[in-house]
A and B are shown apart, each in its own frame.
Chain A
Amino acid sequence: MTLLEIGQWLNDTEIGVTVRESVYAFPIIEGAHLIGLALSLGLILFVDLRLTGYFLREVPVASILHALRRWLLLGFALTLSTGVVLFLAEATKLIFLPVFWLKVSLIFFAGINALWFELKWGRRVGNWHQLTVLPTGVRFAGWASLLLWFGVLSCGRLIPYLGAGL
């Protein structure tokens, strides 16, 4: 199966066709994707700002992670599900767009970074969270997350501009 065939198959899925052909479905789902971003990227931004030392330094990282984690995960669920639907509606265009694949790769690396942070630091947050200046590894994970998610956001916003000619 070639890439084009895969794209066409995804494009022709029932949900892809419905969203593409409806006047309102596209902006409604786009709006939900945007709100998902405010929850997912928005809240992870504040976790990263805490890790890098720019937000509520006197509050233990564990408390911030604990308070925001479920809203953040809810946001990612909303962003990802609406993202998949938006992708299906334009699969044949997106599948050939380098900036789309760059976005997907950056999401993958941001995920790896978050997983690494969770396994290495998140599980034993009690050992280091009292420190005023956090361990270098923790701050590094915060900066990496900030940069990677900003990259994801940039790629996402550029898609309609770089994909217009397709």
Chain B
Amino acid sequence: MSVFSVFDQLQNSDISTAISRQDHLFGAGAQLLHISGLILVLSSILIVSLRLLGLGLVQVPLPRLVKATGKFIWLGLALLAISGVVIFLPAADHYYPNPVFWLKFGLLAFAIVLHLTWYRRVTRQESVKPLIARGTAALLLTTWFGIAYAARFIGFY
């Protein structure tokens, strides 16, 4: 079964049809949840990155800061996933040929793997070697902000 036929089946699923039948303000509500979730994730990543770069909240121990922002990252990701499914389903066929859509999800897959492996390992330490700290911050900022920028482009492509 091809990827396109999976997308096509998703678009024609019952839940997708139910979403399509809603008022256009339902779609606007999903978009609002999506941007709220995005702001939660991006600002949390930004705060941790500033700390890694030594540019902000340096007096807060890194593991403490990561724990405090962690719940907002997961809340943000949950909001993004739920609203994302609502936005995606009714237009799955339309997204399939869009290269920016695939770029975004490629970056997202990378970001999630990075978060569950490297990010966890580095941020467990009280003090991180400067080079590793800076490299991690640069990688986090480019990946997550790259996802947001790519996402903003999907609709225009």
Contacts and interface: CB of A to CB of B under 8 A. Distances in A.
Contacts of B27: 161
Interface SS, B side: helix
B44 to A, nearest CB: 8
Best-surrounded residue of A30, A46, A154 (most CB of chain B within 10 A): A46
B124 interface: no
A141 to B, nearest CB: 19
A136 B110 CA distance: 44
A86 interface: no
A3 to B, nearest CB: 25
Contacts of A67: 50, 56-58
Given A26-B156, A31-B153, A153-B32, A38 B43 contact: yes
A56 interface: yes
A41 interface: yes
A39 B46 contact: yes
A56 to B, nearest CB: 5
Q: Give the size range of B's interface with the partner.
A: 20 to 34
Interface string B29-44: 0011001101110110
Contacts of B155: 27
B28 interface: yes
A159 to B, nearest CB: 10
B59 interface: yes
Interface in A14-30: 26-27, 30
B32 A46 contact: no
Given A27-B156, A42-B43, A46-B43, A68 B56 contact: yes
B28 A38 contact: no
Interface stretch (B12-20, B111-119, B144-152): B144-152
Given A42-B42, A158-B32, 17 more contacts: A27-B153, A27-B156, A31-B148, A34-B149, A35-B149, A38-B42, A38-B46, A38-B148, A46-B43, A59-B60, A63-B57, A63-B59, A68-B56, A153-B36, A153-B39, A158-B28, A161-B24
22 contacts: A27-B152, A27-B153, A30-B152, A31-B148, A34-B38, A37-B35, A37-B39, A38-B38, A39-B46, A41-B39, A42-B42, A42-B46, A45-B39, A46-B47, A56-B60, A63-B57, A67-B58, A68-B57, A153-B39, A157-B31, A161-B25, A161-B31
Top 10 A-B pairs, shortest CB-CB distance: A42-B43, A38-B42, A67-B56, A27-B156, A161-B28, A31-B152, A67-B57, A31-B149, A157-B32, A42-B39
